[in-house]
């Protein structure tokens, strides 16, 4: 379970479709905008929050859901990947609950991701 001040980290591999267990969590007027997958997890950006589905244990049947309202994000940064050695882009979110670091594998458009955050947080 996440505690206040905890540092969390994920690596997003590619954009994908939203899973049914996340769709079931959406409230009236909430829409999924983009979903990214890790090896076993998913992160869905909606028009209201970031929902991270964290599969746990050997079988992955135990699921922890993190729900981060955009209003709790106080600052973010994005860093595009380099050309030769650095293959991952990075996103960092500073929130009222702690710090999140997201690595984006090659092929995920960091500027699209940056715009997604700006649209959700600033509008």
In three-state secondary structure terms, 97 is: coil
Paired strand residues for 9 = 101
Domains of the chain as residue ranges with CATH = 6-122 (2.30.29.50)
pLDDT digits (tens, 9 = 90+) for 54-111: 878 777 778 888 899 999 999 999 888 766 555 678 889 999 888 988 888 888 888 8
Nearest-angstrom CA–CA distance, 41 and 54: 5
Give pTM, 2 decimals.
Answer: 0.80
Nearest-angstrom CA–CA distance, 39 and 24: 22
Paired strand residues for 100 = 8, 93
Rounded mean pLDDT of the chain? 84
Please, which pLDDT band fits residue 120 given cuts at 50, 70 and 90? confident
């Amino acid at each position: 379970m996440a505690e206040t001040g905890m540092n969390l980290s994920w690596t997003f591999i590619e954009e994908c479709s939203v899973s049914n267990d996340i769709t079931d969590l959406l409230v009236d007027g909430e829409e999924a905008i983009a979903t990214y997958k890790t090896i076993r997890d998913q992160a869905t950006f909606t028009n209201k929050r970031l929902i991270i589905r964290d599969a746990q244990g050997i079988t992955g049947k135990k699921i922890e859901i993190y729900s981060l309202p955009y209003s709790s994000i106080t600052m973010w940064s994005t860093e595009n990947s380099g050309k030769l050695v650095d293959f991952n882009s990075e996103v960092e979110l500073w929130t009222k609950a702690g710090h999140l670091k997201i690595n984006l594998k090659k092929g995920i458009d960091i500027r699209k991701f940056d715009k997604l955050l700006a649209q959700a947080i600033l509008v």
